[in-house]
Structure 1
Amino acid sequence: MSKKEIDYSLYLVTGRNLLPPGKDYLESLEEALQGGVTLVQVREKAADTGEIVEVARQTKEVCQKYGVPVLIDDRVDIALAMGADGVHIGQTDMPVPIARSLLPPGSIIGKTCNTPEHVREAVKDGVDYVGIGPVWQTKTKKVKHSITGPVGLQDLLQELDGTDVKAVAIAGINSTNVLHCLWGSVTSTGHALDGVAVVSDIVASPLPLVAAQALSTRITTFYQTLATPKSIYTIESIKTGVGSVLDSVRKFGPLVHQITNNVVTTQSANATLALGASPIMATAPEEMEDLSKATGALLVNFGTIQNLDGMLAAGKQANINRKPVVFDPVGVGATRFRRESANGLLSTWQATVLKGNAGELAAIANSLEVQAKGVDSVGAGFKDPAKFVRDLARKQRSIVVLTGVTDWVSDGNTVVRLANGHTFLGEITGSGCMVGTAVATFCAGASIAANALRSEDAVEDGKLVRGDMFLAAIGGVLAITVASEYAAQRDDVKGSGTFLPALIDELGNLTAETLVEIAKIEIVE
């Protein structure tokens, strides 16, 4: 088989020791192939040579029925003996040039790579693909190298720019996190994975066909979406879209799940109600599976850095159910614990919107331009905030909202500068947290409206789809900043003490027309 014909998208690595009781290996394999597996690697660590040859031979017979190539883990001799399509080699196995000299022309050779240096060496040796990771912890193999998380894969993928070497992510991947893995690993230049390697999610399943189908459908959705042209925005289309999202919030009254810091819980809940949605402040991990099915969006704000288990579970369930996740890493740069916690959350689930001030986002981006002092930023700010938010959005594969005297929003393609607001916002506690609440509320409205317009048979993978989260993020910021200008003009507002209740009032008074009437929006090329 020509190497160019290899489809790496759903790469099954076998493991007979993982089969559920009563499940035959060849039966499980064939069901997995029927479910969409595109490439199979025979991995046998405990069997003797004769048994491995027989397993590999039987595997090839089944795979040939579906036109799926078979690779052998480590053993070039077994690949030669049974006529495999190639081999997968580890870092301590036979050197690639020697394996290439022994195998027939056109054979596929892949290599496990855990660092950029590994990737560079593999490319130099002439591999056809690299298996990069480990993305997450896995029960099927002892992990010797540091967990990369999806974003960490970007450094390895970048080494393949300008080459025709393919890349497959490995370790801990299943149907609930595969989209996070795929989206989170796309580099700023648009370099994406060519596939994912899966073991236990398929092999250990009593229904491998269903397990493979779930993975295959999500993978296909990713590649289709990746190829979809980016939206082109104008100031008028942004204003129209933002107003439409506010109307959707008022019309549908979505339930917005908020895990937020205890300093701002009451005013965040009141802001949600004023905008026309319903808040629920739940933190117990045991509730998250049920809650995610009922809510329109999730806000995770760890200002008082509590309930990490609930945050982890909530984000995972929101990803599974295609619900928008807004992450507000309040004060993340203040302590190592906060930075490690934020990294853990972003490695576990995919944020739809990442919102923070300059110090917070600088900490997420590991930038030295701005530092944090508690929950505030210090320093002059970013020299080029437009470039910063665009680059961070591309790296995190999220909408990025940078708040400050001027607010910046980017989807990694378009950057918008927002210039509304009033100085009173900086004189009350939690105004930034309320922006996160408003963004989550607008995301919920956009998501629910998008699904209301779709027919049942058009819903992707039987799940909910998201609306335009870029417009939702802009709308959430504008809701707070525009309302603050209306509130500050009121005769009953004498200072910050009377400003806060007036702000809640004006959030309730906002309409699509009043929201965009004084919105100061600039698209930055």
Structure 2
Amino acid sequence: MGRQAIDYSVYLVTGREFLPPGKDYYESLEESLQGGVTLVQVREKNADTGEFIEIARKTKEICDRYNVPVLINDRIDVHLAVGTAGIHIGQTDCPLPLARTLIGDDAIIGLSVSNVEQATRAAQHSDILDYIGVGAVWPTGSKDTKGRKSLGPDGTGEILDLIHGSGLEAVAIGGIHLPNLAQLLHGSVAPKSRDALAGIAIISDIVASTTPKEAAANLRLVVDSFKRSRQALKDEAGVFGGLGQKRAEVDAKKLAEKVQELMAVVKRETPLVHQMTNTVVVNDSANVTLAVGASPIMSTHPRDVHDLSPAIGALLINFGTIGDKEGMKVAGRQANVNRKPLIFDPVAIGATSYRREISEELLAHWQPTIIKGNAAEIGAMAKSTEVASRGVDSVGSGFADPGAVVKALARKRAAIIVLTGEKDYISDGSVVIKISNGSHLLERITGSGCQAGSLIGCFAAAARLDYLAKNETKFEDDSQLVQGDMLLAAVAGILVYTVASEVAAARPDVKGPGTFRAALIDELYNLTPDVVAEKAKLEIL
């Protein structure tokens, strides 16, 4: 007969203990199947044999109506009694050869893997195994991971390289939810083989939801979008901004014209830009936001930022002084939920282990739309050794090929990457744009990079509003958390800021950093679209 073909895209692992009050297990299961779950594993840690068999039987009956296979966690006797598609076992459960003997050649076997040693052994048993469950990717409350380091997307990709050529499929599990899903899928692509995950295993993000159909559907959209983008890259078609649009050849002049249009949108719509930024630059960041026509709000308390999210146009998280981690978690998660652009500025991320740990923790909670940083910060995120960090500054000769760095990181992080410096580089993973505007005096005032992040937030909010105004219907591929041209928004924020700095530096009343700082805000306020277009130094690499 042969083993059943399995679609691992959205793999639901049941857990009745996570059901919200008043939600029936079978009701939740059917709704999740309607939302797009492709595989179900029945996991019952506390049920006796008779109860487990009955739950598995009813689960299979419902799943059969949707042509979705069912696996049983650990219990081979339950699998045999019910006639499910196969089993999933852990490292300390039934030995693999015995499990295969007991269930026969036609059943599916999956194995939990949490490190490279276990993955290596799994690859050696690929004649017995069908897939591995890789995790925990991030810390999770559904499984005891005490004493074990989470793999993260990078560790997951390392395991994908180890099983390359074995024929095994890989499914990630642990701490996965909608905001960090795109980061996981793109970030776990194997560095050598370029293999990708076959799917994701989800427990609480579906089971604990009061709307499991919607939860499953949103996850499925992201997974399907990722798989389409992978196919597009194989076809050398490329993908524009993660939104499923094919990018035509970019023309620098047309791009400058679009920046002009977006400047008008900011002034017309006056978007509210929520900024969680460091204490050194709060006042200046608010002032540059006002100068270009947007409206700033600086709030940090978790309850306050939660309630603000539906009203804002974009969110900037700059953790320069890392004083509001819990508020950043809540704000970022809500920005993703409400499909608002999230700009992340990982200030001095490479300077200390604490900053690296906080960054990893934040990125496990939400997905940034745009990541902006200097060479040291982008280098730390890209795990490059070309540039080092000294506090908030970069040291070293710089990247040999900055365009390649931002392009690769944009693909890995599923975000627009902005590398600031003497020349600025911006990429969506498909195209790289170089901006050569700016004044040397920007290096002589505190927080110039932070202010650039504020302006990117202003234009990201405007780009989203502009899209919504022009489109009554959504993209057919609605898996992207944010709608609108975010690459253009990043270019606009940097270009407007750097052109204004040139104009300010040329004023006769500017004598040094102090007078330049005030003049910069004035020139951002007075800057016209025509001046931006005239002075723009854009290159498409």
TM-score (norm: length of structure 1): 0.91
What's the counterpart of residue 146 of structure 1? 149
RMSD of aligned alpha carbons = 2.8
* Distance of aligned partners of 1:249 and 1:97 in 2 relative to their CA distance in 1, 3 Å threshold: farther
Instruction: Tell me the distance in 2 between the aligned counterparts of 1:395 and 1:457.
Output: 26
* Distance of aligned partners of 1:462 and 1:386 in 2 relative to their CA distance in 1, 3 Å threshold: closer
* Distance of aligned partners of 1:174 and 1:356 in 2 relative to their CA distance in 1, 3 Å threshold: closer
Instruction: Tell me the distance in 2 between the aligned counterparts of 1:289 and 1:106.
Output: 50
What's the counterpart of residue 47 of structure 2? 47
What's the counterpart of residue 166 of structure 1? 169
Q: Deviations over 1:317-371 (max 9, x none)?
A: 1111111111112222332222222222222211222111112222333333222
Amino acid at match of 1:477: I
Amino acid at match of 2:137: V
Matched, 1:347 2:364: yes
* Distance of aligned partners of 1:393 and 1:94 in 2 relative to their CA distance in 1, 3 Å threshold: same
Determine if contact 1:12/1:39 at 8 Å carries over to the other structure: yes
Determine if contact 2:339/2:482 at 8 Å carries over to the other structure: yes
Determine if contact 1:406/1:420 at 8 Å carries over to the other structure: yes
What's the counterpart of residue 310 of structure 1? 327
Could you say what secondary structure the match of 2:12 adopts? strand
Matched, 1:194 2:194: no
What's the counterpart of residue 298 of structure 2? 281
* Distance of aligned partners of 1:428 and 1:183 in 2 relative to their CA distance in 1, 3 Å threshold: same
Identify the match of residue 325 of structure 1 among 334, 342, 347.
Answer: 342
* Distance of aligned partners of 1:182 and 1:322 in 2 relative to their CA distance in 1, 3 Å threshold: farther
Q: Deviations over 1:399-447 (max 9, x none)?
A: 2211111222222222222211111111222211111111111211111
Determine if contact 1:248/1:449 at 8 Å carries over to the other structure: yes
* Distance of aligned partners of 1:206 and 1:327 in 2 relative to their CA distance in 1, 3 Å threshold: closer
Relative to structure 2, which stretch is displaced further, 50-59 or 310-319? 50-59
Q: Deviations over 1:67-88 (max 9, x none)?
A: 1111111223332332211111
Q: Deviations over 1:448-505 (max 9, x none)?
A: 1111111056697699742121221122111111111111222222222221222112
Instruction: Tell me the distance in 2 between the aligned counterparts of 1:106 and 1:118.
Output: 24
Relative to structure 2, which stretch is displaced further, 372-381 or 159-168? 159-168
| 1:237-386 → structure 2 map (5 Å cutoff) | 237-386=254-403
Return the offset for 1:255.
0.9
What's the counterpart of residue 38 of structure 1? 38
Matched, 1:488 2:530: no
What's the counterpart of residue 444 of structure 1? 461
* Distance of aligned partners of 1:207 and 1:467 in 2 relative to their CA distance in 1, 3 Å threshold: closer
Instruction: Tell me the distance in 2 between the aligned counterparts of 1:58 and 1:455.
Output: 42
Relative to structure 2, which stretch is displaced further, 269-278 or 69-78? 69-78
Matched, 1:402 2:419: yes
Q: How many residues align?
A: 524
Instruction: Tell me the distance in 1 between the aligned counterparts of 2:474 and 2:443.
Output: 47
Instruction: Tell me the distance in 2 between the aligned counterparts of 1:185 and 1:450.
Output: 30
Relative to structure 2, which stretch is displaced further, 306-315 or 165-174? 165-174
Identify the match of residue 516 of structure 2 among 483, 491, 499.
Answer: 499
* Distance of aligned partners of 1:334 and 1:179 in 2 relative to their CA distance in 1, 3 Å threshold: closer
What's the counterpart of residue 431 of structure 2? 414
| 1:211-226 → structure 2 map (5 Å cutoff) | 211-217=215-221, 219-220=223-224, 223=227
Instruction: Tell me the distance in 2 between the aligned counterparts of 1:226 and 1:254.
Output: 34
Amino acid at match of 1:141: K
Determine if contact 2:285/2:450 at 8 Å carries over to the other structure: yes
Q: Deviations over 1:363-409 (max 9, x none)?
A: 33333322222211122222222222222222222222111112222
Relative to structure 2, which stretch is displaced further, 342-351 or 224-233? 224-233
Instruction: Tell me the distance in 2 between the aligned counterparts of 1:174 and 1:403.
Output: 31
Return the offset for 1:27.
3.9
Determine if contact 1:151/1:395 at 8 Å carries over to the other structure: no
Identify the match of residue 509 of structure 1 among 504, 526, 535.
Answer: 526
What's the counterpart of residue 70 of structure 1? 70
Determine if contact 1:112/1:130 at 8 Å carries over to the other structure: yes
Return the offset for 1:271.
0.8
Amino acid at match of 2:501: S
Return the offset for 1:223.
4.8
Instruction: Tell me the distance in 1 between the aligned counterparts of 2:532 and 2:167.
Output: 49
Could you say what secondary structure the match of 2:426 adopts? strand
* Distance of aligned partners of 1:409 and 1:491 in 2 relative to their CA distance in 1, 3 Å threshold: same
Identify the match of residue 475 of structure 1 among 488, 492, 513.
Answer: 492
Percent identity of paired positions between Structure 1 and Structure 2: 52
Determine if contact 2:209/2:215 at 8 Å carries over to the other structure: yes
Amino acid at match of 1:200: S
5+ residue gaps, structure 1: none
What's the counterpart of residue 128 of structure 1? 130
* Distance of aligned partners of 1:3 and 1:384 in 2 relative to their CA distance in 1, 3 Å threshold: farther
* Distance of aligned partners of 1:336 and 1:212 in 2 relative to their CA distance in 1, 3 Å threshold: closer
What's the counterpart of residue 107 of structure 2? 107
Amino acid at match of 2:10: L
Amino acid at match of 1:118: Q
Return the offset for 1:181.
4.2
* Distance of aligned partners of 1:372 and 1:23 in 2 relative to their CA distance in 1, 3 Å threshold: closer
* Distance of aligned partners of 1:271 and 1:186 in 2 relative to their CA distance in 1, 3 Å threshold: farther
TM-score (norm: length of structure 2): 0.88
* Distance of aligned partners of 1:453 and 1:23 in 2 relative to their CA distance in 1, 3 Å threshold: closer
Return the offset for 1:161.
4.8
Amino acid at match of 2:157: Q
Determine if contact 1:450/1:465 at 8 Å carries over to the other structure: no
Identify the match of residue 432 of structure 1 among 445, 449, 467.
Answer: 449
Return the offset for 1:151.
5.1
Instruction: Tell me the distance in 2 between the aligned counterparts of 1:447 and 1:168.
Output: 33
Could you say what secondary structure the match of 1:348 adopts? coil
* Distance of aligned partners of 1:504 and 1:347 in 2 relative to their CA distance in 1, 3 Å threshold: same
Determine if contact 1:451/1:459 at 8 Å carries over to the other structure: no
Relative to structure 2, which stretch is displaced further, 384-393 or 68-77? 384-393
Determine if contact 1:451/1:464 at 8 Å carries over to the other structure: no
Could you say what secondary structure the match of 2:364 adopts? helix
5+ residue gaps, structure 2: 233-237, 240-246
Matched, 1:92 2:92: yes
Could you say what secondary structure the match of 1:109 adopts? strand
* Distance of aligned partners of 1:20 and 1:503 in 2 relative to their CA distance in 1, 3 Å threshold: closer
Return the offset for 1:16.
3.2
Instruction: Tell me the distance in 2 between the aligned counterparts of 1:90 and 1:244.
Output: 56
Instruction: Tell me the distance in 1 between the aligned counterparts of 2:454 and 2:211.
Output: 40
